[in-house]
Structure 1
């Protein structure tokens, strides 16, 4: 296991600056450790010699005071270095996590609504929140200690070599035992963090599914049914957390014992030679002070070993998402470039579909399969609109075709020209996204809209009848996802929002707008579609019912075909 993934330095600019700063602070810490050891030795040694049996009792108080001042300065300096490491470490960790989180979420969005395995929205949500948060202890605690080990430990050994070669030899011989046992622990616990992160992602996905389905469960009076499942998820999370804690305690205890024994061996050797006159007191004190400092960074690295594994596991998962190829990059470039069609360019234009084919995920089926069509768009003038219906059986790829037209997916074969720019399309999917707020907030998206415009949209979509039955009318509260409204009422709200918020957009896309409506609701949709057509707009509608098909100026048949396995 590599303690530092080079891709982290390439992907996150804040990480590079942080590593350089930590290196500088580590160098300063190494120098201060040596200064502190010599200050203690030169301040304490003469006092011990002068006051011991056979000593003359004369102490150079001025010299001792100077060394005590140096000792105080070194202690303050080490405290300042530790404070800077913690402060700037947390800042850098926040910046690195935010940077990676933005990249992961942005890349997940670029992958489209049908991402490859490992980049499902629920997995990305867990990774971007709980998963990447594991990088903070890794950057704040583990990485600084790792760099201190690379700087302080060799510098301290060299200083000890200049004072006492025997102690330096003992340190050189015993030091490799620490990384060996770290490797041994890492081998024994290999995959623990990956399994833990996978468990957390699975738990997050299941909890999100439960939350998403809670309105349906409440509608059928089954909201208390998943209680056992929630308890099981909590127990799984507890087991995953306890597994991580076991790794932390194991690594910390083993390395604490090992480094304590190594320091004890040096101390015993120095003490015996000091008693038999084989070593002077001042260098002996300096060696005794420096011996724990040789192993201290390694001890701290071991105690933060679990932060390393968790942080690197989160980093690998983030890079696994970032490494997934974006299949709709070319269409995205067309959509965001200056060459995208303008509203004037769309009006009266033509959408050309040439042998468009998309392989259905998880099935040996092309849906749609080899679709070729020319779709004439409305003129943009009153009375010059058009209604285009996309017809086909369930699973034929009609909703996929809508995503292709919007540039959210790229066909596996064939082409679409031009891709509809998002800022010129009003899209009402099968299940419109409705945020919490009042009915007015949902319809206007928080913008200032004249009352007469709202009234006209409500009258066209039949929302006025809904408002008459809701306590508070336009100010009636609506929950997340439209909680508090029926399916038909939500559809009317979504249609009114499309009328109000996209009045200047030449294209309206409706995905199965009458799928869950009764006859009255269906008539509202038909009237709204007619109003859009009369205004000169193009309405692309995924349709099953004869009423919508009969309203269409053009019907595009979409079909799926099985693909023979190789």
Structure 2
């Protein structure tokens, strides 16, 4: 459902595009007086007039040319600005829907496809809006204006133009339907290829380690071949539509030229309104005939831009549609807890989309403020899902979650999340400095960052690295350092009074796991802590235990 702000923004964009289209439609009409001035000057020269007879028409011609250039520049700029505004709004809406999707939604679009659609395919929207809409209006206004200028001089020329003109849009429409389908199919090939490439680049180390590099290369080559075939199909359709247009335009201009030539030679005595055309009138008709078809030719040239733009807009609109929405997808202005919150969970049930069995069924526990809870159980028992539900990252099928006495629901989720900190088992490290990986764009000062790094025992690493960048995926950091970086993020989170940790000691050696355990317990002092873990040493250090059973079995607290 589109909100009033989006509808108002689209209305403003449509208004700017309408004004731009009007300017770009008026500009070509100035060719009619320009052609009249040229015909007048040639008629005077043919009649024996001197240079003085063409000075005034030449001055008028220059003035009209300057005015036409000004109108086209202003209209083109206005159309481009309006098109970019619409594209930015469509991109922002698509990214907002993707960002609002729940992490537990297994139908989420692959990141490679999202990046391809938003960054690359969406660029086709600009020429579609900035060129097609004005061209469509010009294709209506300019031929009509030229027809009205020609009709008082020769009814036959007007008839020839009137007969040839409708054939162009008819064949363009016939070819255009196929062009739009081919463009949409080609954009799908682009998205699939980019998604496949990005996913394989992310996992290149694993692919090479398993000896699957050649297989991955063959699959990428197959995707590239599909893209090549789709591109050639679009080009074939483009050449076909251009050939059809050029054929009818050339025939129309040729028929006008034949009539004017034979009429001036006296071989054809009809076609004008009772009197023979003068040389100037004949030149005027010859100058307007190509201009009559020019807007139609331009419309044909941007017809494929329209097809690509509509396919790109459809792809943008499809991103995030039908996905499981993250409850309370906004951001709270300040932390919701005055103190350390209690956590109460009762009758919690959750089922992943498309799964028959419930991931969680009837889970319940109560944590007093400042208590810690170890959530244990076999893989697949729903430990990570439970943490995600407590974090408000998905809506449970049944049951209730209360944090600090407030019910967690779609209205309160964003505000309650502002008082939480998350530590995952797989640290997501972004290319950049240590400090930027701590702040993640949040309003955290250098002092707070330095204190968080010191707390996580990364101050020595920060001093040694200076402003050296961390590579993608945490390249340059050990596994323990990467996990301590997530602890530093939690320590730097302003107002975090509830800490959720998902397997914080997984995949670590005993010494590093013990160090991370101590840091986690130190971070949890004065805070409520919930940890999903397989580590019995970490679980033994916590106040309460909740053992989840495999799906279909009851949990034990």
Same fold (TM over 0.5): yes
Kindly state the Cα deviation for residue 447 of structure 1 after the two structures are TM-superposed. 4.1
Q: Of 24, 42, 50, which residue of structure 1 is paired with 2:40? A: 42
Q: Of 139, 142, 147, which residue of structure 2 is paired with 1:152? A: 142
1:390 equivalent to 2:378? Answer no
Counterpart position of 1:86: 76
1:528 equivalent to 2:519? Answer yes
Kindly state the Cα deviation for residue 16 of structure 1 after the two structures are TM-superposed. 1.4
Distance of aligned partners of 1:245 and 1:74 in 2 relative to their CA distance in 1, 3 Å threshold: same
Distance of aligned partners of 1:207 and 1:187 in 2 relative to their CA distance in 1, 3 Å threshold: same
Is the CA contact (8 Å cut-off) linking 1:440 and 1:474 kept in structure 2?
A: no
Counterpart position of 2:404: none
Distance 2:151 2:343 in 1: 79
Distance 1:386 1:405 in 2: 15
Let me know the Cα RMSD of the aligned residues. 3.3
Distance of aligned partners of 1:423 and 1:113 in 2 relative to their CA distance in 1, 3 Å threshold: same
- Deviation track 1:129-180 (CA, whole Å, cap 9, x = no partner) reads 0111111222333332122112212222222223322222222222111111
Q: Of 473, 479, 498, which residue of structure 2 is paired with 1:507? A: 498
Q: Of 396, 400, 405, which residue of structure 2 is paired with 1:411? A: 396
Is the CA contact (8 Å cut-off) linking 1:164 and 1:283 kept in structure 2?
A: no
1:29 equivalent to 2:1? Answer no
1:402 equivalent to 2:406? Answer no
Q: Of 329, 346, 366, which residue of structure 2 is paired with 1:332? A: 329
TM-score by length of 1: 0.82
Moved more, 91-100 or 194-203: 91-100
Number of residues paired by the alignment?
A: 526
Kindly state the Cα deviation for residue 199 of structure 1 after the two structures are TM-superposed. 0.7
Counterpart position of 1:432: 427
Is the CA contact (8 Å cut-off) linking 1:90 and 1:136 kept in structure 2?
A: yes
Kindly state the Cα deviation for residue 450 of structure 1 after the two structures are TM-superposed. 7.1
- Deviation track 1:93-113 (CA, whole Å, cap 9, x = no partner) reads 333322221121112111232
Distance of aligned partners of 1:450 and 1:69 in 2 relative to their CA distance in 1, 3 Å threshold: closer
Counterpart position of 2:176: 186
Listed as ranges, the matches of 1:96-107 within 5 Å are 96-107=86-97
Distance of aligned partners of 1:131 and 1:455 in 2 relative to their CA distance in 1, 3 Å threshold: closer
Counterpart position of 1:343: 337
Give the SS at the match of 2:473.
coil
1:290 equivalent to 2:282? Answer no
Distance 1:471 1:104 in 2: 40
Kindly state the Cα deviation for residue 31 of structure 1 after the two structures are TM-superposed. 3.3
1:205 equivalent to 2:195? Answer yes
Kindly state the Cα deviation for residue 393 of structure 1 after the two structures are TM-superposed. 3.2
Is the CA contact (8 Å cut-off) linking 1:351 and 1:376 kept in structure 2?
A: yes
TM-score by length of 2: 0.83
Distance 2:80 2:32 in 1: 27
Moved more, 515-524 or 79-88: 79-88
Kindly state the Cα deviation for residue 114 of structure 1 after the two structures are TM-superposed. 4.6
Give the SS at the match of 2:380.
coil
- Deviation track 1:56-110 (CA, whole Å, cap 9, x = no partner) reads x3x3765532222222222222222333333333333333322221121112111
Distance of aligned partners of 1:455 and 1:394 in 2 relative to their CA distance in 1, 3 Å threshold: closer
Counterpart position of 2:277: 280
Q: Of 484, 491, 496, which residue of structure 1 is paired with 2:488? A: 496
- Deviation track 1:232-253 (CA, whole Å, cap 9, x = no partner) reads 5444444443333333333223
Counterpart position of 1:3: none
Give the SS at the match of 2:508.
coil
Q: Of 238, 247, 250, which residue of structure 2 is paired with 1:248? A: 238
1:367 equivalent to 2:367? Answer no
Distance of aligned partners of 1:487 and 1:233 in 2 relative to their CA distance in 1, 3 Å threshold: farther
Distance of aligned partners of 1:539 and 1:237 in 2 relative to their CA distance in 1, 3 Å threshold: same
1:67 equivalent to 2:57? Answer yes
Distance of aligned partners of 1:41 and 1:415 in 2 relative to their CA distance in 1, 3 Å threshold: farther
Is the CA contact (8 Å cut-off) linking 1:38 and 1:286 kept in structure 2?
A: yes
Q: Of 124, 128, 144, which residue of structure 1 is paired with 2:118? A: 128
Distance of aligned partners of 1:217 and 1:377 in 2 relative to their CA distance in 1, 3 Å threshold: farther
Distance 1:209 1:173 in 2: 55
Is the CA contact (8 Å cut-off) linking 1:357 and 1:413 kept in structure 2?
A: yes
Structure 2: gaps (5+ residues): 1-5, 271-275, 402-406, 553-557
- Deviation track 1:382-429 (CA, whole Å, cap 9, x = no partner) reads xxx211223343233332332322223223444432336333222111
Structure 1: gaps (5+ residues): 1-7, 51-56, 379-384
Distance 2:376 2:507 in 1: 17
Counterpart position of 2:319: 321
Distance 2:439 2:311 in 1: 43
Give the SS at the match of 1:541.
strand
Distance 1:413 1:366 in 2: 11
Distance 2:104 2:308 in 1: 28
Distance of aligned partners of 1:559 and 1:185 in 2 relative to their CA distance in 1, 3 Å threshold: farther
Give the SS at the match of 1:357.
strand
Distance 1:444 1:296 in 2: 56
Counterpart position of 1:551: 541
Distance 1:556 1:423 in 2: 25
1:517 equivalent to 2:508? Answer yes
Kindly state the Cα deviation for residue 321 of structure 1 after the two structures are TM-superposed. 2.9
Listed as ranges, the matches of 1:259-274 within 5 Å are 259-274=249-264
- Deviation track 1:370-393 (CA, whole Å, cap 9, x = no partner) reads 44x243252xxxxxx211223343
Moved more, 435-444 or 280-289: 435-444
Counterpart position of 1:381: none
Kindly state the Cα deviation for residue 230 of structure 1 after the two structures are TM-superposed. 4.7
Distance of aligned partners of 1:451 and 1:13 in 2 relative to their CA distance in 1, 3 Å threshold: closer
Is the CA contact (8 Å cut-off) linking 1:30 and 1:155 kept in structure 2?
A: no
